[in-house]
Every structure is written in C-alpha cells, then in structure tokens.
Chain A
C-alpha cells in the first residue's frame, strides 16, 4: 500500500512534540532549576533536607485532593465541595477518635464512609436530577459549610498521638503522608489505565453521547468519579486531623477546591474532560508546592505570591490552549495561504476554471456511458 502514509497521518503534524504529561514534568524541572539558581544567589540551597521536606509536605495535602479532582474533571465534571469535605472529615476523624488509639480505625472508616456518601450524593444529583456539576457541588459545599459553622465554633476532637504519626513521620526526606499520597496516585493511575471504568471516564468526558451509544452506562461512571473524588478529599481530611492533632472547620478558608482545580489543569487535564491523567496532576501539584516553598524562602510578599501563582496558572493553560488550536476538526481542502498550488489542475481541463461558459441546457448526449464505463475498474 503505497499511499498508506498520506492517508494515515495528517501531513502537517510535527512529531517531536512532547505529550502533555511529559511537558508538565519538563516544566517542573525547569522551575526547579530556575528556583535553585535564584535561591542559590541568596546563599541558600533549595535542595536542603528542610526545603525538600517542606515541598513534599505541601504537596501531600493538595495531592490527595487533586487526585480526586482529576477523576471528576476527566468526566467533564468538577467538584467545588472538596474543601468543605476536607474540613468536615477532619472534624469527624478527630471527634470519632477522641484521643483513643483503639478508635483510630473507627475514625478512618467513619471518614471514608461519610466522604463516599457525599460523593454519591453529588453524583446522583448530577446524573439523576441533571443539575449542573458546578451548581451541585457548590450547593453541597454550602450545605456542609452551614453545618460546620453552626455545629463547630472552633477546633474540636482530639487525635491520638499514634495517628498524628501520619502527619509527621518521615522516611528520610520523604514524609509518610506524601508516600501515602504517591501510593494513592499510582493506584489511581492504574485504575484509569487498567479498569474498564477508568477507560469509560475518558469516554464520558470526551463525548458522553459517543459513550452512551457504545453501551457505556455513563451515569454510573460519573457517580464513581464523584465518589472517588470525595474519598480522596476525605483522606486529605484525615491528614489535616493528624497534622493539627484536632479537627478544624476553618480549613475550608484555604480554598483547596480552587487550588486542586488549578493543579489538575496545570497538569494537562482538559477542563472539558476526556484527556489527561493523574501523573500530570501530581506534576501540577509539585509545581505549586515548589513555587510556594521558593516564595517562602525568598520571602515574597504574600499578596504578590498570589499574583505570581495566578499568572503562572493562566500562562500554563494559555500554552495548552495554543497547542490545542492545531487540532482542527475540519480537513483542509486547499493549502491555506499563498500560491494556488492546492490541488490545482485536478479536473479543470482548460486552466482558469472561473466562470466557465457551461452550456445552459444539459449537454450530455443521450446514452453517454461515462459513469457506466467506470464500473469495470471498481474496487
């Protein structure tokens, strides 16, 4: 098949381009390199144990939430309630454990069950009541916030020392919480790449109608994504409880829902769903963590810090958008600019081809077998 090459690939596509996930990690290393130089010029070492631990610790909490958010966004949904779920579950963990080591398991189970139920509720509202995910999860967040504001004025509960280890233990420079987060990330990556439900998340986010026509129960997939998303937020709540030694409703002021969406998008997952993954999200989380650490070391003004973060997130997504522009659904029939080369002379026999003086009446002589003779040479 000689013409196979022209047919199988679009000619204009360059092949050297990095995939989105690779690009995120290239960006991460570029940022690390630039930061190391900047920090070095101030006479400190970005890769000192203290700084490494700081970066990794920062990434664990957001990592849990952003892994969950990835599932939702892949399905062309999103979850604005995660920040409130983190606050609620930190309180549930601390109050259930009530300072007793033998109640740790009970506390963990309670957190996972309740966060899963919240995700289930989100998923059902979105798929059964057909409420827009933005509104669904915003409403869910407000409901949880209202409950927290009326029930808990300040910190509550008491986390036993044994469970606080989850927040503080380190394996070398790797905090235990980060290690757990990375294990969850690997599990999530495997889930997306190895389970049917994972495959179907890409389909639901890519084109729900195509998914439905292919026999996928799109509602179930969406609900699963939201349950997983809330479960991840619940794990973040456990980590907060372990770090603070108590539960705190004020955690929701940290706006983790927005940070997690930023990390997911920074990680190359399309906000419109259907493409992306957890590896990229972890890259996005690490980028944000590195920036925070560097800003701290350099003692950047907190307000300016937010400005910088905002600029970086927008710039990253603008770059993705440019890359996305190349993919045009429509096929070019002619060469876009300059030179009339595009397929000229294919069938216009006498040059020009403009305003040809075609006879007004049907000029075909009766019995002209033009098309019929072509039959002989078919297929």
Chain B
C-alpha cells in the first residue's frame, strides 16, 4: 500500500502540480453493517487531488456502500474519514456537499420539468432585491458551462428534453457548482451510448486538470484504463489492493476482482435429469433495449443470463413475459410461434417470472401467505386454477416455509420466506418455462440453498429454467449453460463450469476486444 502511495504516476499522463502525495481524502478502517450483515470490512482508501481514482469490484463488493458513506448518505459503524487531514463526519449529504464532497448517484437526481439552470441552482437561487434573478442564474450557469467546455448546453433547456448523457452532465455541473473538490460518480456511463461517453470523458479530463479528485465507480474495464490514474479493488466488502493503473494489466485486474474459490455450496444436478427439446426459442428478438437476441431454453436445462447491470438481462425476461415486448424477431413455444402481449397471456402460455424486486412486483405485502400463493391462479383456466389451489398448501410446506401459518401477512416474513411464497405462487401454475430474475437476492443462506435445490428438482421434472443473476458464483455453480449479455446483445456463451474470469471478460468487453485484436 505505502509503496503505491509513494509512487508517482507514470510519465506521459496528463498530471499537473495539484496531484500530490498528501491525499485529499483519507478513509481508514471503515466497517459497515446492514441489519446484522456486514458489507464493508475495514476499508482504507486515499484519493489525491487531481487524480481519477477508479473503484472496482463485482456486484455486491461494497463499492456503492463505500461511496454513500463518503457522501454522507450512510454513516460508518467504525473508522474515520479525513478531508485535508481534518476528520469529518457527514450526517447528511448536504453537509458533505458543502464540505466539497459531491456525489453523482446512479439514481436520477434532477427535476425533469425544470431547466438546467434551475436544477443547478436549486435551493440556492441567486436573488436581486429579494426576487429570484433568473437572468443572473442563467448567466451564471452559462458561465459555468462555458468554463467546462459545455457551451452546447443551454441553461434554459428543460432537463427532460436532454439525452441521458446531457442529464448526467447537468448532475456533474450541479455537483461542481458547490465548489466540489472531490466528485464520486457511480457508474456514470451505465446508460450512455459510446459517443456520449466521449463527452463525459472530456469533462472528467477537465476536472482532473483543475485538481478536482474524481472517484469513479465502473464495471467497464476499458473506461478504467482510459481514465483512471489509480484503481482500488474491493471484493466481498474487503479491500484487495490499490494500484497504479499503469502497473496492472486488465487480466490481472479481472483476477483481483474475482478469483475466489467456488464453494461446494451448490447442489449437483439430480440423477435422471435429461436435457430435452427446446421449450422456448427466441430468434432475432429485439426492442428498444435489446437487439438480435437468439436464445434456446431446453426442458431440464438451467440457462443462466450473465452480464453487468443494465446489459439487458432483465429486459429479456420482461420481453418474454409480455411486459416490454419484443418488437422484432420471433418467439416460439414448444415449436409454435407465439405473440405474448401481456403477463396474463404469458402465464396462460405456461411461463412464470420471478421478478427481481419481490416486494414491489412479486407480493401483495399486506395479504396472507395463502392469498399471495393463489395470486396467479386468477390468470389461468378454471380447471388449472382449481388444481393449483389444491396444491398450494403442499407446495408451501414442501418449500419449508417458516411462517405462523398460511394466514400470516407476508410482510412479516423474512426475505427468504417471502421468496418461497413467490416461488410457490408460480409453482401452483405448473409452468413449463421459469424465468428467475435474481432468485436469491437478499435472502439468507438457508433459503438460498432451498432455492437452488428447487431449481434442480424443477429441471429434473423437465422445466426449462432461465436464471438471471449478478452473482457469478451462483451463475457458475448452477448453470448448465451461461449466456453473456453486453449492451443489449448476446456477446457469448460459455458451458457449465466456465470460470468467473471468462464470464467477467465477456461481460466487461475485455475478452471481445482482445479477440478482435488477435484477428
């Protein structure tokens, strides 16, 4: 660590005198737990003025939590944060902002109906004789934009008419207008197209020249190597290392991010499981978020969809389920072309979708276990419904549901038991294709294990399963086949037992680039 701190950035990098060895922000020994689950373990981090400092790690490594602690959204359980050698404690994001620590979050933080200037100066509108001076506000914003080389943005434009990149830039400009000395950005390019990324790159370059520190969270290796001076790697809530970007190859970086032993946590395939015919087939599927999707789901097979957040994983499940339909291409179910236009039609066609957000989309929280488990039966034929209703209690007990009886409201159940109710709801319809979007998110180890064995049982019974997961060990431990997505397209397919690096390589675009270079 100390060796890295002392090392000067390599020659040829545009570094000016403001980048010194005295860190602007010094973070030491940060611990953080949520509801008894520790997510950060003694994190140390130094960010210098005038450097772009990348923060990388897999989903769930703790990057966002660390950023939010720096921004004053969360308070650390242990550890200290120093700004210019002074210890600071931020109880509220506004305090951090006034101290010069600004953050551009992934969530949208602008008022779409208001103009660029009104958003930048929100809460601090300049006044002349007690009245808001819109002319001055627009002029100040224009000056701020011109200063950053962004004169193509007009202060009077309403934010909703800007592209996502434009909106992102407004957020950065707003953050800067507080005289920010460090700006954290959480995956700022996640929603941007390539040409838009350039605009952001240029802005970050300008910031670096001005001696502003940039803490840059991204999954995209190319950006990290394009932009950053140093990179800090987190894994499972712990610090792996901080290194100069020039001192590391992308191969080594990927290894540091993943490379944990795959545990024997995942149950083996059950005896007698055979991969049967193609149950569901997509050819050339596309809509506004997806393009050229070709995918086969076979009976008895667990297909995993891997990819970064926003790569289009959830969108495929939603398109199949009639939520945000495919506008191009063809879907065949059991060999017959189908056109599923609503979730109801999807259910009737024998599909099931366990959604990513079980509280918002999976359960009626203030209704009973039984009512929730019977929820989908309204959509199927009366005969199926009657049969399903009879099966519900059996399904619930077979899933080892822990509840004070089937009449308990589901909001009182733990996350794992809630998820079991969601699964029971779908099992009652006896689906032939199950789409599982993050089936184990936020549930305890025991429940995870039960979900995994359930998946194996379903596969043995000839159900075609599509599992979407951000957790690589889960993808590798469960899938018979791994399909990797990037930017709305399928970029590759890996067999069972592929290693994490291969998946990450495809998902981040690392492998693909190298492949092209080889040609």
The 3 closest A-B pairs by CB, nearest first: A379-B205, A4-B152, A214-B123
B residues 483-519 near A (Cβ < 8 Å) are 487-495, 498-499, 501-502, 505-506, 510-519
A351 to B131, CA, bound (A): 60
- A353–B506 Cα distance when bound, in Å, is 13
Instruction: Check: A344 CB closer than 8 A to any chain B CB.
Output: yes
Contact with B along A90-121 (1 / 0, CB 8 A): 00000000000000000000000000000000
In the complex, whether B91 has a CB less than 8 A from a CB of chain A is no
Interface string of A340-379 (1 = CB under 8 A from B): 1011101111001111101011111111111110111011
Given contacts A202-B113, A274-B111, A372-B246, 16 further A-B contacts (CB under 8 A): A1-B151, A7-B195, A8-B152, A8-B166, A196-B127, A213-B109, A270-B113, A332-B289, A333-B488, A334-B287, A340-B328, A354-B292, A358-B494, A375-B225, A375-B246, A378-B226
Minimum CB–CB distance from B122 to chain A (whole Å) comes to: 4
Q: Which of A13, A375, A378 has the most CB of B within 10 A?
A: A378
CB pair A194 B132 closer than 8 Å = yes
Is A375 a contact partner of B226 (Cβ separation < 8 A)? yes
Query: Are A360 and B122 in contact (CB-based, < 8 A)?
Result: no
Taking CB atoms and an 8 Å cut-off, the chain B residues in 95-141 that contact chain A are: 108-114, 118, 122-125, 127, 130-132, 134
A374's partner among B162, B196, B225, B494 (CB-CB below 8 A) is: B225
Provide the residues of chain B in CB contact with A10, threshold 8 Å: 161-163
State how many residues of chain B have any CB contact under 8 Å with chain A.
95
Mark B residues whose CB is within 8 Å of A.
12-14, 93-94, 108-114, 118, 122-125, 127, 130-132, 134, 149, 151-154, 157, 160-166, 191, 193-196, 198-199, 201-202, 204-205, 208, 221-222, 225-227, 245-246, 249-251, 284, 286-294, 312, 327-328, 487-495, 498-499, 501-502, 505-506, 510-519
B14 touching A379, Cβ below 8 Å: yes
Given known pairs A7-B199, A340-B286, the reply for A371 and B328 (CB within 8 Å) is no
> Which B residues are CB-close (under 8 A) to A275?
113
Q: Are A349 and B519 in contact (CB under 8 A)?
A: yes
A194-B131, A214-B123, A379-B202 are known contacts. Are A336 and B288 too (CB-CB below 8 A)? yes
On chain A, the residues within 8 Å of B161 by CB distance are: 9-10, 13
A6 within 8 A of B: yes
Query: How many Å from the CB of A216 to the closest CB on chain B?
Result: 5
**Beta-carbon contact of A372 and B249 below 8 Å:** yes
Contacts of A152 in B (CB 8 A): none
Query: Known contacts A196-B125, A334-B290, A340-B286: does B94 contact A213 (CB below 8 Å)?
Result: yes
Q: A378 contacts which chain B residues (CB < 8 A)?
A: 201, 205, 226-227
Which residues of B lie under 8 Å from residue A329 when comparing CB positions? 108
In contact, A1 and B152 (Cβ under 8 angstroms): yes
Give the residues in chain B near A3, CB-CB below 8 Å.
195, 198-199
B512 contact set on A, CB distance < 8 A: 347
